[in-house]
Amino acid sequence: MKPAPFEYRRPGTLADAVAALAGGPDTKVLAGGQSLVPLLSMRLASPRVLVDINAIAGLDTIEVEGEDGGVRVGALARHAAVLASADVRRVQPLVPLALAHVAHATIRNRGTTVGSIVHADAAAEMPVVLAVLGGSVDAVGPSGRRTIAAADLFLGPLESSLAHDEIAVSAYFPALAPGAGVAFDEIARRHGDYALVGAAALVDGESVKVGYLSVGDVPTVVDLSGVAEADLGEAALAHLEPGDDIHATADYRAQLVRILTGRVVRSAREMAESK
């Protein structure tokens, strides 16, 4: 199929881009396009106006904020650039661990990390990484700039709290604390496919948090602090509702949760103990 007709705009400044979005909710922002363009082609999205932000300077940065700060990724930073960043790997290794599972190299060369987050697909890797780390997204709209915590960002399937006239300009991933460990793993039918289930773990002393993708309508983080290793999977399932679809049954997904939960928590603990 071909996309429905739309008006195309390519502003050169952030202010002009925000103004272009002010026409109403039937406008969409185009960054990498690896999520949006397929939706346009299948007419699952039919915006009246498409606002391409690729001509706006300064949105492709990858920066470490302060000596003990985290990583801030700009809206036009491609997955491949974030994955290749030595600073990101040093400051918050969970980000590249998860990015290595995102689709294929061709997609990562064009797709943007911030775009993947605000697309709010519960089967995608980067939303759950932001959620388990307690990160945030900065957005700019007619009322100025605001910061949206990950806990407040994901509202439902492909639905975020970003307003239609706001542009997500960056995502912030907190640094890994000294002595903490992280891990990521997922199971997919083929490499590069969406995961049947994925899990990201953050272990910091007695604190154990695991985030799950492809299990619910939104990225879900479960606090497993104090749970014995043998009980981790069942404890996680008490907070999750794996569903059926054409790819897997609910029972199979539940079993993947059991397997992946123990696996990522052990790996995260091993990283923490190795420091």
Do 67 and 165 share a structural domain? Answer: yes
Residue 57 lies in a domain: no
pLDDT tens-place string over residues 247-259: 999 999 999 999 9
Q: Is the pLDDT of residue 1 over 70?
A: no
**How many separate domains does the chain show?**
3
Nearest to 179 by CA among 113, 273, 43: 273
Q: 3-state DSSP call for residue 39?
A: helix
Do 36 and 11 share a structural domain? Answer: yes
pLDDT tens-place string over residues 147-161: 999 999 999 999 999
Do 72 and 27 share a structural domain? Answer: no
Do 140 and 78 share a structural domain? Answer: yes
pTM of model > 0.85? yes
Which class for 208: exposed (0-12), middle (13-18), buried (19 or more C-beta within 10 A)?
A: buried
Give the domain CATH number at 27. Answer: 3.30.43.10
Please answer whether residues 156 and 174 qualify as being in contact, where contact means their C-beta atoms are separated by less than 8 angstroms: no
Residue 98 lies in a domain: yes
Q: Mean pLDDT over residues 10-18, rounded?
A: 97
Q: 171 - beta bridge partners?
A: 73, 137
Q: Can you list the alpha helix ranges (DSSP code H) found in the chain?
A: 14-20, 36-41, 79-84, 86-91, 94-99, 105-110, 113-119, 125-133, 150-153, 232-237, 250-274
Residue 89 lies in a domain: yes
**Amino acid letter, 235:** A
Give the domain CATH number at 268. Answer: 3.30.390.50
Domain that holds residue 34: 7-52
Residue 1 lies in a domain: no
Give the domain CATH number at 127. Answer: 3.30.465.10
